[in-house]
Amino acid sequence: MRFTKKDFYFSVITGCITGFSAWRIFEYLAISEFGGHSFVWFLLIVPVLWILGVNFGYFLGGWFGFFNQFGKFAAIGFTNAAVDFGVLNLLIANTGISSGGWYPVFKGISFMSAIIPSYFWNKYWAFEGSPSTGSESSSGGFEFAKFMSVAVVAIFINIGTASLIVNYVNPLGGLSPAVWANAGAVVGSAVALIFSFVGFKLAVFKK
């Protein structure tokens, strides 16, 4: 497969969303500079990384076909994670709560904020061209219902993994509670990302 204009536009859009979210998250966590430079440069570098990543996926797809989709899915996944973390940190910043019983609630809200637009990214980009995206039996509400079924399981995996780390593992290396909350979110999102790709590919947008 070849890198298309659509790949370019989607890579730039999702890259900008990710770059902006990452920049603001680092600002909130008081990690505002790296080597004397503001993280605002994420707005430029992340879209470039997404373009390179999608192309690399196509390159690997020459040997392993699933990489043709996984390169795009990974870009979407990181974008979802950026939105997830952005909403999570917004809730933490406005409440001052970064652990305990409210953390799973905040994590659920932030994850849902990311997963709903994820359906459209995946349907019209990552898994574009799969027969199920155009068939009557899987279109519309039924397809979205299957997507949400996988997403709901992923939510519990994401929240459960993140909450386990945040609430039952002491912060490592003297990390602050807010930073540790994000560390838990990273691990939760990584586990959920792998599960989601398998679920979406085999159950929702399967060929």
Once rounded to an integer, what is the mean pLDDT over residues 146-173? 87
- pLDDT (0 to 100) of residue 48: 95
Q: How far apart are CA 105 and CA 99, in angstroms?
A: 10
Q: How far apart are CA 35 and CA 38, in angstroms?
A: 8
Counted domains in the chain: 1
DSSP 38: E
- pLDDT (0 to 100) of residue 107: 83
- pLDDT (0 to 100) of residue 54: 94
Selected residue with higher pLDDT from 165 and 139:
165
- pLDDT (0 to 100) of residue 36: 61
Cβ contact 157:202 at 8 Å: no
Confidence of residue 7 (pLDDT cuts 50, 70, 90): very high
What tens digit of pLDDT does each residue of 70-126 get? 899 999 988 988 998 899 888 988 898 888 888 888 888 987 888 888 888 988 898
Burial of 34 (0-12, 13-18, 19+ CB in 10 A): exposed
What tens digit of pLDDT does each residue of 16-68 get? 999 999 888 888 777 666 556 677 888 899 999 999 999 999 999 888 887 88
Q: How many alpha carbons lie under 13 Å from residue 176 in its C-beta half-sphere? A: 10
- Work out the number of other CB atoms within 10 angstroms of the CB of residue 160: 15
Q: How far apart are CA 177 and CA 36, in angstroms?
A: 25
Q: Which residue range(s) make up the domain with 175?
A: 5-204
- pLDDT (0 to 100) of residue 196: 87
- pLDDT (0 to 100) of residue 16: 94
* Closest listed residue to residue 53, CA positions, set 97, 113, 82, 11: 11
Cβ contact 7:54 at 8 Å: yes
- pLDDT (0 to 100) of residue 146: 87
Task: State how far the alpha carbon of 85 is from the alpha carbons of 10, 35, 45, 80, 175, in Å.
Answer: 21, 24, 19, 9, 17
Confidence of residue 137 (pLDDT cuts 50, 70, 90): very low
